[in-house]
Amino acid sequence: MIELGGNITLVGFKEIEPAELIVVKKIVGGYARKLSDTVENFESLSMTLKEIHKTPKSQKFEIHGKVLAGGKSYNSEVVERNLFVVLDSTLKKLLAQM
């Protein structure tokens, strides 16, 4: 588990490349800032990565996103081949729910 700024947690991201992890942190940090600016009582953001159907040259990523705000839990889940697309889509879904 990787913690960013105290209220952001990334689970399952230790297996990805260090260069990709830097981009992941920037994407998640940007959305966390949007969430904290637009949502009242923003408490935490958690992203969980699962690699599924992992074969050479072909794998899918499944990301589960969870936001706690004002005592309520908001969840989203997306499966995609590109790590950055699945991350962005999951975070957009969370932002749209709020």
Look at residue 24 in the predicted model and tell me its pLDDT: 95
CB atoms within 10 A of CB 27: 16
Widest CA span in the chain: 44
DSSP 8-state symbol, 59: E
pLDDT score for 59: 83
* pTM summary value: 0.88
Let me know if residue 43 belongs to a domain.
yes
Q: What pLDDT does 94 receive?
A: 93
- Domain containing residue 91: CATH number: 3.30.160.100
Residue 6 lies in a domain: no
- Asked whether residue 53 carries a pLDDT value surpassing 90, the answer given is no
Q: What is the pLDDT of residues 17-41, one digit of tens each?
A: 999 999 999 999 999 999 889 888 8
Residue 79 covered by a domain: yes
In the prediction, which pLDDT does 1 show?
87
Q: In the chain, how many domains are there?
A: 1
DSSP 9: E
Q: Any residues with CB less than 8 A from the CB of 23 and at least 6 apart, and which?
A: 84
Q: 31 lies in a domain? A: yes
pLDDT averaged over every residue in the chain: 91
Query: Please, which residues have CB within 8 angstroms of residue 86's CB and are 6 or more apart in sequence?
Result: 61, 62, 63, 78, 79, 80
Percent of the chain residues past pLDDT 90, beyond the cut:
67
